[in-house]
Amino acid sequence: MATNFWQPGDDATNVEILGGDIYKPEFFEVVKSAIQALDQDLYNLSHDIHEHPETRFEEHHAHDVLTAFLEKQGFEVTRNYLLETAWVAKYTHGSGGRVLGVNSEMDALPGIGHACGHNLIAIAGVAVACGVKAALAQFNISGTVVLLGTPGEEGGAGKAILLEKGAYEGIDACVMCHPAPGPPLSASLSSCLARQRIDVEFHGHTAHAALSPWEGQNALDAAVLAYTNISMLRQQLKPTHRVHGIFEGKDWTPNIIPDYAKMIWYVRAPTRAEVDVAVKRIRACFEGAAIAASVRAQVEMGNGTFELRQNKALGDEFADVFSKKIGPIDHVYGIASASTDFGNVTYALPAIHPSFAIPTSGGNHTAAFTDAAGTKEAHQACLKVSQALAATGLRLLTDDEFYKRVRETFDEDVRTREQEAAKLKVSLVFLAICISLSAALTYAYTAVVR
């Protein structure tokens, strides 16, 4: 990690706060007061979720404690919303007005618990929603806040599923946040990598590994070849791309030629369009390995997530509030080299997903980060970023000109990403022609040799 990142035990009281005017400072003060009033209750809630880690789509305990908490806070709660462990909590004041969406994640990682800090994301969503609710009531603002409990972020693309099922319909803009390493009490408005999961199964034929190995078709050999092919391909991939995978098998033993092997791969790149180009090249690695090992390859595309398209107007407003009231802003750190299913949400509607720093000696998905996510310091950082997000959301609900800018910047970004995708599509067509030509030449050469 960078040397300027927040470490356990560091003094975070001397961070630079710019100061200055923000939009409706009275909104921020009410939000801050409402969230601070729930400080201990939110910490207890976070600690409860942290101590009961549940992996993707198994977040039953988190589902129950979060929905019970929100009912006590006066929200209209729907349990098991569209997915078994998803939920929605709504609050409306007055009539009409815009709708602010907020997301709470809940799932942990296998083996190491809340090593991505989703216990903090869960209570951040609750804090934002409660802060907005308090301001709507106190200032008699017509509007609605909708808090979605979104399961299965870690590899399950739960938000993408909820998006397809209509969970985000009627929401004008959506906000959430994520803990990560970074400078003390900072927030980051970086993007992240788009991701595609690929499952490939190799099917061969068993044989006695010593008595008659020539009768076998080794599926494991194909998997090893595919792994090697991809390792060599990395030299030709851009430094911004990531490709990583694992082996799975069944009934393997050294004295039998394996007739089955499975691999699960993630392909990541800065944009969804770049992922699509890279996937073509990765798929060729599987197909080439199958030909070399004389086995059959079955390739299936799993869930896919998009890069974060941070809405510029929302991001600028959040940065203004955060830098003047809490701490520094950057566009570099956060989860820049990771992925999130909230990227899919940012493709569908205006949204922001700032990361916020917590004191940790290890990055996300490490045991050290699990420990960090349960500390009081991480909790306080979580509440502070929640205050800035709630204030940003209140401007969306109350300022017509600001909402117009939010929509304009979203539409502009849609045009930008479509232009980027069109350019890459030309590369994709050329690559497909090259792969087809290479396969045809290989087949022709093999036929001549035979």
The reported pLDDT for the residue numbered 208 is: 97
E strand segments, 204-288: 242-248, 260-269
pLDDT class of 424 with cuts at 50, 70, 90: confident
Q: What is the pLDDT of residues 17-28, one digit of tens each?
A: 999 999 999 999
The structure's pTM equals 0.92
pLDDT at 118 over 60: yes
Separation between Cα atoms, residue 398 and residue 390, nearest integer Å: 12
The pLDDT of residue 434 is 72
* pLDDT at residue number 103: 98
Mean per-residue pLDDT for 144-158?
A: 97
pLDDT band at 3 (very low <50, low <70, confident <90, very high): confident
Q: Measured between alpha carbons, how far is residue 4 from residues 10, 185, 266, 301, 385 in Å?
A: 11, 12, 30, 39, 20
For the chain, what is the mean pLDDT? Answer: 95
Q: How confident is the model at residue 422 (pLDDT cuts 50, 70, 90)?
A: confident
What is the end-to-end Cα distance of the chain in Å, rounded?
Answer: 55
Q: Is the pLDDT of residue 163 over 60?
A: yes
The DSSP secondary structure of 233-251, one letter per residue, reads HGGGS-TT-EEEEEEE-SS
Q: Which of 134-143, 408-417, 420-429 has the lowest mean pLDDT?
A: 420-429
3-state helix, strand, coil in the chain (%, to 5): 50, 20, 35
pLDDT above 70 coverage of the chain, percent: 95
pLDDT surpasses 60 at 361: yes
Its sign, for the CA torsion 123, 43, 67, 120, is: positive
The pLDDT assigned to 413 comes to 97
Is residue 449's pLDDT more than 60?
Answer: no
The model's pLDDT over 216-235, given as tens digits with 9 standing for 90+, comes to 999 999 999 999 999 999 99
Residue 7 to residue 182: CA distance in whole angstroms: 9
Amino acid identity of residue 360, one-letter, is T
Pairing of strands 296-305, 194-203: antiparallel
Looking at residue 316, what is its pLDDT? Answer: 98
Question: Quick one: average pLDDT of 348-374?
Answer: 98
Q: Residues 217, 231: contact at Cβ < 8 Å?
A: no
Backbone phi, psi, residue 163, to 5°: -60, -45
- By CB atoms closer than 10 A (0-12, 13-18, 19+), residue 140 is exposed
Looking at residues 392-405, what average pLDDT do you find? Answer: 98
The pLDDT score that the predictor gives to residue 1 is 60
Q: Which residues contact 263 (CB under 8 A, 6 or more apart)?
A: 199, 200, 202, 223, 226, 227, 245, 246, 247, 248, 286
Instruction: Kindly report, residue by residue over 51-72, the tens digit of the pLDDT.
Output: 999 999 999 999 999 999 999 9
CA distance 417 to 137: 39
Rounded alpha-carbon distances, angstroms, from residue 376 to 8, 97, 113, 124, 372 = 11, 36, 18, 14, 9
pLDDT of 445: 58
Say which amino acid occupies 234. Answer: R
Nearest to 145 by CA among 170, 110, 117, 181: 170
Read off the tokens for 402. 């600001």
DSSP letters spanning 344-378: HHHHHS-EE--EEE---SS-TTSHHHHHHTTSHHH
Residue 378 is predicted with a pLDDT of 98
List residues bridging with 323 in a β-sheet. Answer: none
